[in-house]
Chains A and B, each alone.
Chain A
Amino acid sequence: KQEVTQIPAALSVPEGENLVLNCSFTDSAIYNLQWFRQDPGKGLTSLLLIQSSQREQTSGRLNASLDKSSGRSTLYIAASQPGDSATYLCAVRRLNTNAGKSTFGDGTTLTVKP
C-alpha cells in the first residue's frame, strides 16, 4: 500500500526566503507525482506534474524534483511571498494498468510573514 508523508506539517518563514517542502512515498512504482496548492476551505490548484521518467519540472518561482529510487520529491519555492501562504499537497499515482487513483500526503501548511 502506497503511503505518502509530508514533513514538516507546518512551516513559517519571513518574506523573501527560499524554502523546500518535502514529500516521501513508500512505493517507487509510480506513474507520476503532482504538487497542489490548497487555500483554506477551497479546492486544490495544480502546481506541477512530474512524470515518472522526469527528474524535475519548473514553473515560475517553483521547481519540483523527483527521485523515484529514494522515494522522494521536493518542491522548491524561491523568493517566497505572503501570497504563497497555503497548504501544499503532493500526490502520487501508482503504476498500474488503470493508473487511476492518486494517494495524497497530508500537506505542509506554509505561512509567509511580511
Chain B
Amino acid sequence: DTGVSQDPRHKITKRGQNVTFRCDPISEHNRLYWYRQTLGQGPEFLTYFQNEAQLEKSRLLSDRFSAERPKGSFSTLEIQRTEQGDSAMYLCASSLGAGGPGNEQFFGPGTRLTVL
C-alpha cells in the first residue's frame, strides 16, 4: 500500500453542476478525514469517519455537501449545485485509530476543484 489516494486529481466544472470525489485510505486505517484548503490558508476540517460512521461534521459542510463511507473503506465527497466559492483543494487523510502514534494523520495528494 503506497498511501492515501484521491481521484480525480483535478476537476473543472461549471457552476450548478454536481461533482463527486473519491478517497481510498491506507488499507488498515479505520479513520478517514476530509479537509478543504484554499490558497494561502491551512486546511479546514469538513468531516471524519470512524469505519462507516460519520462522527463529526463541520458547519462548513452545508446541505450541498455530503460524504459517505459505506463499507468503512473508501469514501466519497459529493458537492451538489457547485458555486464558485467551492473552488479549493479537497484533501483526504486517514489514521489508524484514536490512541498514541496511531493518531498520526496521513494525507492524500488532494483533488483540485475549479468552478467556472
A41: chain B residues within 8 A (beta carbon) = 112
Q: Is the interface of A mostly helix, strand, loop or mixed?
A: strand
Q: Does residue B42 face the partner (Cβ distance < 8 Å to A)?
A: yes
Q: Is the CB of B56 within 8 A of A98?
A: yes
Q: Is the CB of A104 within 8 A of B44?
A: yes
Q: Does residue B91 face the partner (Cβ distance < 8 Å to A)?
A: yes
Among the stretches A12-20, A29-37, A69-77, the one at the interface with B is A29-37
A99: chain B residues within 8 A (beta carbon) = 98, 103
Q: A42-B110, A43-B107 are in contact. Are A102 and B100 (CB under 8 A)?
A: no
Please, how many angstroms separate the alpha-carbon atoms of A28 and B104 in the complex? 19
Interface size on B, residues (CB 8 A): 29
Please, how many angstroms separate the alpha-carbon atoms of A101 and B91 in the complex? 13
Nearest residue in A to B4 (C-beta to C-beta)?
A: A43
Q: A98-B55, A101-B48 are in contact. Are A45 and B43 (CB under 8 A)?
A: no
Tally of A-B Cβ pairs under 8 angstroms:
65
Nearest residue in A to B97 (C-beta to C-beta)?
A: A99
Please, how many angstroms separate the alpha-carbon atoms of A99 and B97 in the complex? 10
Interface size on A, residues (CB 8 A): 26
Q: Does residue B114 face the partner (Cβ distance < 8 Å to A)?
A: no
Please, how many angstroms separate the alpha-carbon atoms of A34 and B109 in the complex? 18
Q: A31-B103, A43-B91 are in contact. Are A105 and B108 (CB under 8 A)?
A: no
B interface list, Cβ under 8 A from A: 4, 6, 31, 33, 35, 40-45, 48, 55-56, 58, 91, 93, 98, 100-101, 103-110, 112
8 contacts between A and B (CB under 8 A): A41-B112, A43-B91, A44-B91, A44-B93, A51-B100, A51-B101, A104-B42, A106-B42
A interface list, Cβ under 8 A from B: 4, 31-32, 34, 36, 41-46, 49, 51, 89, 91, 93, 98-107
